[in-house]
Amino acid sequence: MNRQLKSLPTPGILPLLRNVPDLSFVIPAYNEAGNITKTVHRVAAEARKLVRSYEIIIVDDGSTDSTFKEAKALTAAHPVCALRLSRNFGKEQAIMAGLERSTGAAVVILDADLQEPLCHLETLLRHRAEGFEMVYAVRAQRRDETWRKRAFTRTFYALLNSGSETAIPANARDFRLMDRKVVDALCALPERNRFMKGLYGWVGFRTKAISIDLDKREAGVSKFGFRGLFKLGLTGLTSFTAWPLRVWTGIGMTIAACSILYGLWIAIRTAIFGIDVPGWSTLVVAVMLLGGVQLISIGVLGEYLARVFAEVKGRPGFIIAEDHSADPEQP
Ligand code: UDP
Ligand code: MG
């Protein structure tokens, strides 16, 4: 359907023909029963001020609380589409499910806890009117986080950017406005193991960053503990950099060069001073060190291989279990 309409020669009337909303909001929600209703009311109130038509897509990412029940109830009063994923697939996949379902001329991704103040919506739209195809929010500061999380984030982005062909801005949020072109480009990518913050940069387009301060989460708790962040970080590193694979050539060459020099030194020393007492401790240390280095390198290879394996299997990134949309006639 989309493809047929795209080929029509009169793009000006397309939005009218397809009943395309000006703006789609994509809200991934995992156990957000305490937030979702308030969030949608606030988003709707803000959207009514800024655009003629909008839709709100709530993606329930396998919540175990009443998030989906609340999302379904919201379809009675707002142009909401409530999707329920069959299990918890993670935020990246929930965002993709929402992007694929969205139809708006532009899409805004929002967290369900509304930590990103909605007053910035107007700025996002203003920059879009200036010709930017993607406008994203960057955290002005991270003082509210622990030093461990801050250090982890800083190291992660330094490692990521040292090997990535496109710059991946540190501290960027998923909160962003994207033109339909950008959304279509993201949806067309075939990879399933997605690191969205990298992909936003990879697809390119004219982009603009705005700096924001985050509000506190009103209800519930953050879903990203250290383990979740570490997993996401590994996905980012393996999908955007190949240096962890290549670095072993350098390490191997350095160890080989050191061994040759050490071998030469032993030969010369033996020629001059004769045979020394056998150095079994040096031998054990060398064997253990090399064994460790080799196991680490195999582990890194395995990490990449596991991801190739996951891609080759071709399983979908998410499964939609329920799709509950508001009546299209509704305002
Ligand atoms: N989220 C999700 N699936 C997950 C984890 C989180 O859809 O597996 C959603 C969550 O409901 C929220 C957004 O992603 O709307 C951001 O999560 P959170 O607020 O926990 O992250 P933080 O703001 O602490 O980085
Ligand atoms: Mg949050």
Q: What is the pLDDT of residues 122-159, one digit of tens each?
A: 999 999 999 999 999 988 877 777 888 888 888 888 88
* Domain contains 7: no
| Total of domains in the chain | 2
The verdict on pTM exceeding 0.95 is no
Ligand 1 pocket: which of 25, 30, 59, 150 to mutate (most atoms <8 Å of CB)? 30
Q: Are residues 174 and 260 in the same domain?
A: no
CB atoms within 10 A of CB 17: 10
Say if residues 43 and 108 touch (Cβ distance below 8 Å): no
- Highest mean pLDDT among 83-87, 255-259, 308-312, 313-317 belongs to 83-87
Give a yes or no: residue 38 inside a domain: yes
Q: Is residue 29 part of a domain?
A: yes
Percent of the chain with pLDDT over 90: 42
Ligand 1 atom with the smallest distance to the CA of 223 is: 20
d(CA 280, CA 256): 20
91 Cβ below 6 A of ligand 1:
yes
DSSP 8-class letter at 213? P
- Cα 224 to averaged position of ligand 1 atoms, centre (Å): 7
Which of 113, 194, 196, 230 for mutating ligand 1's site (highest number of atoms within 8 Å of CB)? Answer: 113
Residues in CB range of 15: below 8 A, 6 or more apart: 105
Domain extent, residue 299, equals 243-313
Find out whether the beta carbon of 29 lies less than 6 Å from any atom of ligand 1.
Answer: yes
Q: Is residue 26 a part of any domain in this protein?
A: yes
- Is 271 found in the same domain as 227? no
CB 117 within 8 A of CB 193: no
pLDDT the model gives residue 331: 46
Q: Kindly state whether residue 234 falls inside one of the protein's structural domains.
A: yes
Residue 170, both tokens: 């540190």
319/199 Cα distance (integer angstroms): 21
49 shares its domain with 156: yes
Residue nearest atom 2 in ligand 1 by C-alpha distance: 91
Per the prediction, the chain carries an average pLDDT of: 85
Ligand 1, atom nearest to 31 Cα: 11
Residue 256 is assigned to a structural domain of this protein: yes
Residue predicted with more confidence, 143 or 39: 39
User: Domain check: are 225 and 258 in the same one?
Assistant: no
Do 184 and 287 reside in the same domain of the chain? no
Same domain for 283 and 179? no
Residue 29, CA distances (Å) to 51, 57, 166, 292 in order? 24, 10, 29, 42
Confidence tier at 276 by pLDDT (50, 70, 90): low
Q: What is the pLDDT of residues 9-38, one digit of tens each?
A: 444 555 555 688 999 999 999 999 989 999
Residue 9 placed within a domain: no
Hey, which of 60, 174, 222, 223 would you mutate to test ligand 1's pocket, going by the most ligand atoms within 8 Å of its Cβ?
A: 223
Burial label, 105 (beta-carbon count in 10 A; 0-12, 13-18, 19+): buried
Rounded to whole angstroms, the Cα distance separating 162 from 83 reads 38
User: Ligand nearest 31 Cα, by number?
Assistant: 1
Among the residue ranges 54-58, 110-114, 163-167, the one predicted with the least confidence is 163-167
64 with 182, same domain? yes
Q: Give the CATH number, domain containing residue 178.
A: 3.90.550.10
Residue 94 Cβ inside 6 Å of ligand 1? The answer reads: yes
**Where is average pLDDT lowest: 25-39, 50-64, 279-293, 306-320?**
279-293
CB 72 within 8 Å of CB 36: no
Q: What is the mean pLDDT of residues 111-124?
A: 90
The pairing of beta strand 172-179 with beta strand 106-109:
antiparallel
Same domain for 277 and 178?
Answer: no
Q: Is 317 exposed, middle or buried (0-12, 13-18, 19+ CB in 10 A)?
A: middle
Q: How remote is the CA of residue 260 from the centroid of ligand 1, in Å?
A: 53
Cβ–Cβ < 8 Å for 90, 61 = yes
**Half-sphere exposure for 111 (CA within 13 Å, toward CB):** 21
**Per-residue pLDDT reduced to its tens digit, 182-232:** 999 999 998 888 889 889 988 989 999 998 888 888 777 877 777 888 888
CA distances to 203, 242, 243 from 300, rounded to whole Å, are 27, 10, 10
Residues 46 and 184 in one domain: yes
Kindly state whether residues 20 and 105 are assigned to the same domain: yes
Rounded to an integer, the average pLDDT of 85-102 is: 94
**So what's the pLDDT on residue 267?**
85
How many A from CA of 149 to the centre of ligand 2? 15
Question: Is 283 in the same domain as 219?
Answer: no
The pLDDT value recorded for residue 237 is 86
- Rounded (10°) CA dihedral 97, 108, 20, 105: -110
Helices (H), the chain: 2-6, 14-18, 36-50, 67-74, 91-101, 121-129, 147-163, 180-188, 196-202, 226-240, 243-273, 280-313
Q: Is 112 in the pocket of ligand 1 (CB under 6 A)?
A: yes
Q: Is position 58 within any domain?
A: yes
Residue 222 CA, chain-centre distance (Å), reads: 16
User: Is residue 110 located within the same domain as residue 77?
Assistant: yes
Which ligand lies nearest the alpha carbon of 27?
1
Pick the most confident of 130-134, 261-265, 310-314.
Answer: 130-134
Residue 153 is predicted with a pLDDT of 83
